[in-house]
Amino acid sequence: MTYKLRQLTLRKGEETYLFRYRPGEESGVVDDMARWAANPELNFDWFDAAVLCYQMGRRIENEMPDKVEER
């Protein structure tokens, strides 16, 4: 079975943060972002993690089938 690889990219100054993952692996990506945001040696902060998590959520929302009609 083939899965589409998804990607989130953040360019910050001269640095590029790239997260690639398969559908269903989103929680692991969020864990990675949290570790990176907590690392003071990186230029990746909690705001950056929040922006990428928001983008990931929007992608999931857009890929969901239409909502079930209300009764």
Tell me what pLDDT residue 69 has. 56
The full set of domain ranges for the chain reads 25-61
Question: Among all chains, which residue has been given the structure tokens 């040696």?
Answer: 41
* Percent of the chain at pLDDT exceeding 70: 87
Question: How would you label 3-34 residue by residue, b for 16+ Cβ within 10 Å and e otherwise?
Answer: eeebebebeeeeeebebebeeeebeebbeebe
pTM: 0.79
The predicted-structure confidence for 40-60, as pLDDT tens digits, reads as follows 999 999 999 999 999 999 988
pLDDT of residue 64: 77
Q: Over the stretch 21-38, which tens digit does the pLDDT of each residue have?
A: 999 999 999 999 999 999
Mean pLDDT of the region 2-7: 83
